[in-house]
Each structure stands twice: as structure tokens, then as C-alpha cells.
């Protein structure tokens, strides 16, 4: 296992943690916002009013985590390619 495969695996783990935790939190905020009645309480965050903010603050890190996973997969695939033969 070369350094490309090691760092690729490390990026996959870190990216999956970022995407998974941010995605779960974003989903929870959106679910609670949808399930709350509109205009409930002193703040009007029910009825799906928090969905744009949840996607802004939670969706962007989730996408970045997914891109980190993709970069890790790319590094692992690059490390597994056989070396090209020298030109004759």
C-alpha cells in the first residue's frame, strides 16, 4: 500500500464523517422545521421556514464532505494503476 492509497483512505474516512454528520444534522433541522406548525412559539421557524437556512449552513459542508470522499477514491484508483511502460 503506497502513500496515495493511505491518504486516499484517510480522505474517505474524514469526508464520510463530515458528510454524514452534517447531512444528519441538516436533515434533522429540516424535519423539525417541517413538523412544527407554522408560526408556533415566539419565532416563526415552523412550516418549513428553516429549510433554506439548513441547506445553506448544512448543505455546503455536506457537499464538501462528499467531494473529499470523491478525492479519496480518485487517489486510491490512481495508486492502483500499473506504471506505464517506458517509450521505446
Indicate the pLDDT class of residue 16, thresholds 50, 70 and 90. Answer: very high
pTM of the model: 0.79
H or E, element range at 42: none
- Given a contact cutoff of 8 angstroms between Cβ atoms, the answer to whether 73 and 12 are in contact is yes
What's the grid cell of residue 82?
500499473
pLDDT in tens, 56-65: 999 999 999 9
Spatial CA neighbour of 19 closest among 78, 71, 74, 77: 71
State how far the alpha carbon of 35 is from the alpha carbons of 9, 21, 39, 49, 73, in Å. 38, 21, 12, 11, 37
pLDDT in tens, 39-87: 656 667 777 788 898 999 999 999 999 999 999 999 999 888 777 777 7
Amino acid at each position: 500500500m503506497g502513500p496515495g492509497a493511505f491518504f486516499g483512505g484517510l480522505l474517505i474516512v474524514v469526508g464520510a464523517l463530515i458528510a454524514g454528520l452534517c447531512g444528519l444534522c441538516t436533515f434533522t433541522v429540516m424535519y423539525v422545521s417541517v413538523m412544527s406548525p407554522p408560526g408556533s412559539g415566539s419565532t416563526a421557524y415552523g412550516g418549513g421556514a428553516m429549510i433554506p437556512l439548513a441547506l445553506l449552513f448544512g448543505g455546503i459542508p455536506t457537499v464538501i464532505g462528499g467531494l473529499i470522499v470523491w478525492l479519496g477514491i480518485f487517489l486510491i484508483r490512481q495508486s492502483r494503476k500499473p506504471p506505464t511502460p517506458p517509450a521505446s
